[in-house]
């Protein structure tokens, strides 16, 4: 950090200037061009100059700017452009604004003055552990406060006399695409982690195919996937993943492809390459597959009758309390308790499909309720004839238990892209599918080169 400001007025102006992106500075006009040069010379402020401000209040009529630049022909050296010392305080658990102000060397009176200095200061009531407050203090006086709730957005309050001005600063991350592919040897998660995918990305991939594949029970050794997705960078540092753009999943030799498309109304969904929505009337598994334990033997002897009962459903072993979702939109026709079923829920979907959920720990819906797909209707338990927490799930078509995957043609059709939108769909999605395949080919070539 540079030496403290010789003059707090200058530093206040600079504090605001350094938060503007270069393109906005340029529009301020030639008078400020010398400042732009000096800012560019100061690489430590580079990140700040990229900041995208939503409310630009800087104008040439601003008397402070005119004071600062009485004569534009005199070039300013970097020494004349002092940087502001921002004192950073991280919000800790159990913190409050009074404690944070104290740590920054300010009093409750300063806090009171600040909170009264602009109506938007009430945003600071939303502070959470991990958020950051940056203080610009000079001569024991609070001149600026920046509240940063995440890497991309911050709220800046700048003193104007006894009041404060407020502006929201938003950073635009750089987006790059990344590609991963893997073959599953034991589990989707381990395969994903081996190729350095984080848990959210793996989960998102599973969600895209969650209407076609039961990730709790259908996954087999040799299944494989490809995924093209966005990575977000800030100043060259990765700050997280963006959307999955295209993906392919081969499950038990059947291959599913999905591509992300934002339609002309701005709604983004996943579609098959020929424009059918990946969303279907029924989820394949009515609970989060990550909570399903695979070493569950549904053919074990029934604990009460000591026989292998004819089994007309799917058993998902999961810990007690795991949320159970409705597999599709529908109406609860029974939410009750019987000795064999324990707490159970039956949902009617349209005319011909029913789903049943047995042995629940808690029921979260009542008979007669309307439910949406993926709405929590209860939690996994072990009530009724059950020896360990699990969900017994049944899917009945016209009263007969069926595997929803094999009766897809009898179920409501997934929505498709309107024919009028089809050219736009293809134009936007085909390059993504091509990129997905090109990445795969490159990896094949690279592998061949190693052998």
Q: Whose Cβ is closer to Zn ion: residue 288's or residue 315's?
A: 315
DSSP 440: H
Contact (Cβ atoms closer than 8 angstroms) between residue 64 and residue 12: yes
Which of 249/357 has CB closer to Zn ion? 357
Least gap, CB of 286 to Zn ion (angstroms): 13
Can you name the residues that pair with 345 across neighbouring β-strands?
335, 357
Q: Compute the Cα dihedral for 31, 37, 40, 42 and give only its sign.
A: negative
In whole angstroms, how close is the CB of 307 to Zn ion at the nearest point? 14
State in angstroms the smallest separation of the CB of 390 from Zn ion: 7
SS (H, E, C) 396-427: EECCEECCCCCCHHHCCCCCECCHHHHHHHHH
Burial of residue 210, with CB atoms counted within 10 A of its CB: 0-12 exposed, 13-18 middle, 19 or more buried = buried
CB 386 to Zn ion: min, Å? 8
| CA dist., res. 365 & res. 377, Å (int) | 5
Q: How far is the CB of 331 from Zn ion (least distance, A)?
A: 24
Nearer to Zn ion, 244 or 318 (CB): 318
Q: Which is nearer to Zn ion, 391 or 433 (CB)?
A: 391
12 or 392: CB nearest Zn ion = 392
Name 134's bridge partners.
Answer: 88, 146
Residues at the contact surface with Zn ion, assessed by CB under 5 A: 315, 392
Name the minimum Å distance from CB 357 to Zn ion. Answer: 11
d(CA 286, CA 357): 9
Minimum CB separation of residue 419 from Zn ion in Å reads 44
Strand (E) or helix (H) holding 361: strand 353-363
Which residues, listed in sequence order, are joined to residue 135 by a DSSP beta bridge? 87, 145
Q: How far is the CB of 360 from Zn ion (least distance, A)?
A: 13
List the structure tokens of 390. Answer: 């699990």
Contacts of 349 (CB under 8 A, 6+ apart): 281, 282, 327, 328, 329, 330, 355
User: Which DSSP string do the residues of 294-359 spell out, in sequence order?
Assistant: S---TTSPPTTT-S-----SEEEEE-TT-EEE-SSSEEEEEEEEETTTEEEEEEEETTTEEEEEEE
Given the complex with Zn ion, which of 240 and 313 has the nearer CB atom? 313
CB distance 28 to 58 below 8 Å: yes
| Smallest separation (angstroms) from Zn ion to the CB of 308 | 11
Minimum CB distance to Zn ion smaller for 26 or for 308: 308
If the CB atoms of residues 280 and 392 are measured against Zn ion, the closer one turns out to be 392
Is 324 within 8 Å of 287 (Cβ atoms)?
yes
The residue sitting closest to Zn ion, measured at its beta carbon, is 392
User: Which CB atom, from 180 or from 392, has the smaller least distance to Zn ion?
Assistant: 392
């Amino acid at each position: 950090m540079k030496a403290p400001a010789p003059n707090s007025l200058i530093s206040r102006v600079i504090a605001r200037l350094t938060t503007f992106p270069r393109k906005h500075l340029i529009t301020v006009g030639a008078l400020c061009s010398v400042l732009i040069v000096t800012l560019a010379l100061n690489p430590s402020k580079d990140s700040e100059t990229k900041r995208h401000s939503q409310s630009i209040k800087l104008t040439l009529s601003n008397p402070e700017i005119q004071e600062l630049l009485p004569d534009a022909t005199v070039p300013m050296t970097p020494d004349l452009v002092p940087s502001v010392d921002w004192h950073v305080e991280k919000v800790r658990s159990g913190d409050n604004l009074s404690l944070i102000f104290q740590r920054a060397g300010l009093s409750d009176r300063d806090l009171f003055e600040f909170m009264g200095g602009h109506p938007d200061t009430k945003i600071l009531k939303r502070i959470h552990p991990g958020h950051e407050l940056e203080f610009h203090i000079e001569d024991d006086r609070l001149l600026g406060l920046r509240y940063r709730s995440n890497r991309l957005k911050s709220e800046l309050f700048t003193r104007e006399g006894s009041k404060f001005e407020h502006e929201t600063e938003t950073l635009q991350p750089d987006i790059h695409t990344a590609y991963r592919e893997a073959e599953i040897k034991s589990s989707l998660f381990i395969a994903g982690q081996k190729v350095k995918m984080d848990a959210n990305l793996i989960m998102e991939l599973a969600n895209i195919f969650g209407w076609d594949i039961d990730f709790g029970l259908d996954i087999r050794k040799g299944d494989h996937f490809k995924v093209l997705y966005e990575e977000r960078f800030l100043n060259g540092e990765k700050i997280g993943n963006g959307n999955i753009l295209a993906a392919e999943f081969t499950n038990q030799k059947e291959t599913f492809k999905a591509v992300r498309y934002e339609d002309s109304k701005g709604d983004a969904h996943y579609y098959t390459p020929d424009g059918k929505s990946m969303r279907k009337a029924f989820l394949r598994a009515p609970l989060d597959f990550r909570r399903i334990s695979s070493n569950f033997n549904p053919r074990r002897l029934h604990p009460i009758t000591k026989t292998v009962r004819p089994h007309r459903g799917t058993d998902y072993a999961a810990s007690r309390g795991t949320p159970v979702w409705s597999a599709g939109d529908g109406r609860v026709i029974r939410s009750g308790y019987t000795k064999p079923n324990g707490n159970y829920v039956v949902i009617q979907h349209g005319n011909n499909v029913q789903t049943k959920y047995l042995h629940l720990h808690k029921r979260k819906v009542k008979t007669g309720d309307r439910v949406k797909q993926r709405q929590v209707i209860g939690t996994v338990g072990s009530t009724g004839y059950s020896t360990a927490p699990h969900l017994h799930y049944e899917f009945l078509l016209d009263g007969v238990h069926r595997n929803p995957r094999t009766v897809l043609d009898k179920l409501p059709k997934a929505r498709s892209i309107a024919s009028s939108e089809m050219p736009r769909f293809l134009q936007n999605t085909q390059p993504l599918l091509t990129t997905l395949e090109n990445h795969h080919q490159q990896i094949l070539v690279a592998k061949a080169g190693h052998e």
